[in-house]
Amino acid sequence: MKHIKTLSGNTLNKDLKKVGCGECQTSCQSACKTSCTVANQKCER
Amino acid sequence: MIHQFRIFDTNMVLDVNSGAVHILDDIAGRVLSCFDETGTPVEERIEHLRREIGAEPVNEALSELEELKAEGLLFSSDPYEEMFTPETTPAVVKALCLHIAHDCNLRCKYCFAGEGDYHGEKALMPVEIARKAIDFVIENSGNRRNIEIDFFGGEPLLNLKTIKETVAYAKEREKDANKRFRFTVTTNGLLLDDETMEYLNETMDNIVLSLDGRREINDSMRVRRDGTGCYDAIVPKFRKMASIRKDKDYYIRGTYTRSNLDFSEDVLHMADLGFDQLSLEPVVLPDGSGLEIGREHLESLFAEYERLAQKLAELRKQGRKINFFHFMLDLEGGPCVAKRLRGCGSGTEYLAVTPKGDLYPCHQFAGFEEFRLGSVFTGIEKREIVDTFRGINVYTKKSCRNCWAKFYCSGGCAANAWSFKKDLHDVYDIGCELEKKRIECALWLKAQEMSD
């Protein structure tokens, strides 16, 4: 594309039947404790 | 839904439901501004633009935008709400915040825990309670294998004995229970000595070390009982701890208040000290406390986050990679949408345990009797409170369902919503505004990395 660069494609809407295993880190157990930031956690799969 | 924004000289657009992120040149940015919220180009506006900058570039950009739409990467639909209802939220507990010490050797001026005692009696968690908490999480975690235990306070190192015995007990039970325990500790550092550092390094998956940044800032907030600051006592220890950690996780974590709205200087000071995993969070305090962030501070804080993003990008170009917690975004390997719409798991998969063994939805609810869920001895007695927390997601919060940032903050902090609105289905507005700015900065930093 000439006018648009894609940084990342579809990352959320895929394999929806396989998501939600719950093995990932709970966000507040990292460096947060007073605010909620979830998107910076990693998927463990 | 999309979020189009411009930061420094970069036009960006986030497609909320797919998570796709695009960088647009000025022409594409202007053409996209001609779309209505359903994703349809408004012909009148497009025609106006054709007359202004020429038909060819406008038509080119229009066709590229339509192509992204067709690929589901722009104005994509939301298939999640029906799929991930509150009823589908699993009823398992897989993370505990153990309040190892309701006591502290500091008197930080912004402490939400009432200087460590959570507005109650000072207490250290006995080993028996901690062991019972391990039993509780094993019994209540269903088929979850990864279990997280956070040693928290007050100051948890005031009760190192219980930490050590808890780790040993959890490790002992790990194999038979088919679990993997991961430990974290949050400490102010005063009690760190060589032996303790070695022990923590070996056993902890993450070590959070509290420091607010520059000496004068830290020492105006993080003070001992006699009012003296702790900077000089802790920084050498933190440097040693960080050097021992090597590739293992640690965070230098601080809090900023209205008295250091130029907080990027504090983050950069941490970096100057040689630390590279950093977190500095806005204080959360009610109006009138004297240190709280108010709406009147937002504009300067937005500028400050931008300044920080710019500085971190410069440092990166010089070969210094600093990880700032609130700018961390893994666009490809981040959490799945099920996690993103449910949030931090407080009150459901994440609970706090007080020194007496009482269970609360998270560390910030500890001591609020109306949120006491039960204890490690009785298990959950007030299932209705857990059900209330299970019912919270980005679709059940009216401020979140139409917000572009909902899959990044996941509805924000329930404790903050309760503190400010007395409604778990509401939000802490100032926190939302800051979070949105941080996401924009984080996406911009990703764009910089891509262009390098």
Q: What pLDDT was estimated at residue B313? A: 97
Res A31 pLDDT > 70: no
**Nearest-by-CA chain B residue for A21:** B144
Q: What HEC string does chain A produce?
A: CCCEEEEECCCCCCCHHHCCCCCCCCHHHCCCCCCCCCCCCCCCC
Contact A22 B413 (CB under 8 A): no
Q: Using DSSP, state whether B373 is helix, strand or coil.
A: coil
Question: What is the arithmetic mean of pLDDT over B12-38?
Answer: 98
Q: What pLDDT was estimated at residue B177? A: 98
Question: What is the arithmetic mean of pLDDT over B435-449?
Answer: 96
Chain A residues in contact with B145 (beta carbon < 8 A): 23
Q: What is the rounded distance in angstroms from the CA atom of residue B220 to the CA atom of residue B231? A: 10
Q: What is the rounded distance in angstroms from the CA atom of residue A26 to the CA atom of residue B347? A: 12
**Residue B232 and residue B222 in contact, taking contact as beta carbons nearer than 8 Å:** no
Q: What pLDDT was estimated at residue B114? A: 81
**Residue B428 and residue B417 in contact, taking contact as beta carbons nearer than 8 Å:** yes
Q: What pLDDT was estimated at residue A35? A: 66
- Choose the mutation target among A5, A25, A37 for the interface with B, i.e. most B CBs under 10 Å: A37
Q: What is the rounded distance in angstroms from the CA atom of residue B155 to the CA atom of residue B190? A: 9
Name the minimum distance, in Å, from the CA of A36 to any CA of chain B: 5
Q: What pLDDT was estimated at residue B132? A: 98
Q: What pLDDT was estimated at residue B450? A: 86
Q: Look at phi and psi of residue B8 and say left if phi exceeds 0, alpha if psi is from -120 to 50, else beta.
A: left
β partners of residue B150: B97, B184
Chain A residues in contact with B212 (beta carbon < 8 A): none
- Name which of A5, A25, A32 is nearest B148 (Cβ-Cβ): A25
Chain A residues in contact with B279 (beta carbon < 8 A): 31-32
Count CB-CB contacts under 10 A for residue B171: 13
Question: What is the arithmetic mean of pLDDT over B85-95?
Answer: 89
What's the pLDDT tens digit per position in B1-10?
Answer: 999 999 999 9
Q: What pLDDT was estimated at residue B440? A: 97
pLDDT averaged over chain B? 96
Give me the torsion for CA of B93, B97, B101, B106, rounded to 10°: -160
Residue whose tokens read 């902090």: B413
Contact B72 A13 (CB under 8 A): yes
Structure tokens at B438: 């941080």
Contact A31 B25 (CB under 8 A): no
Res B15 pLDDT > 70: yes
Q: What is the rounded distance in angstroms from the CA atom of residue B148 to the CA atom of residue B183? A: 6
Res B405 pLDDT > 70: yes
User: What's the longest Cα–Cα distance across chain A?
Assistant: 43
Res B277 pLDDT > 90: yes
Res A29 pLDDT > 80: no
- Name which of A12, A22, A35 is nearest B337 (Cβ-Cβ): A12
Chain B residues in contact with A37 (beta carbon < 8 A): 325-326, 408-409, 435, 438
β partners of residue B183: B149
β partners of residue A6: B22
Structure tokens at B290: 């004297």
- Name which of B21, B363, B364 is nearest A7 (Cβ-Cβ): B21
Question: What is the arithmetic mean of pLDDT over B157-185?
Answer: 97
Question: What is the arithmetic mean of pLDDT over B36-55?
Answer: 97
- Name which of B17, B279, B344 is nearest A12 (Cβ-Cβ): B17
C-alpha gyration radius of chain A? 15
> Which chain B residues in 191-230 lie under 8 Å from chain A, judged by CB atoms?
206, 208
> Strand B379-380 vs strand B374-375: parallel, antiparallel, or unpaired?
antiparallel
What's the pLDDT tens digit per position in B323-347?
Answer: 999 999 989 888 999 999 998 899 9
The larger pLDDT score, comparing residue B315 to residue B117, is at: B315
Percent of residues, chain B, with pLDDT higher than 70: 100
**Nearest-by-CA chain B residue for A4:** B24
Cβ-based interface (< 8 Å): residues of A facing B: 1-13, 16, 19-44
- Name which of B79, B331, B450 is nearest A16 (Cβ-Cβ): B79
Q: What is the rounded distance in angstroms from the CA atom of residue B205 to the CA atom of residue B36? A: 47
> Which chain B residues in 154-173 lie under 8 Å from chain A, judged by CB atoms?
none
What's the pLDDT tens digit per position in B184-215?
Answer: 999 999 999 999 999 999 999 999 999 999 99
Contact B18 A10 (CB under 8 A): yes
Q: What is the rounded distance in angstroms from the CA atom of residue B371 to the CA atom of residue B359? A: 9
Res B20 pLDDT > 90: yes
Name the minimum distance, in Å, from the CA of B102 to any CA of chain A: 16
| pTM of the model as a whole | 0.96
Name the minimum distance, in Å, from the CA of A35 to any CA of chain B: 6
Chain B residues in contact with A4 (beta carbon < 8 A): 22-25, 28, 61, 64-65, 68
Question: What is the arithmetic mean of pLDDT over B47-53?
Answer: 98
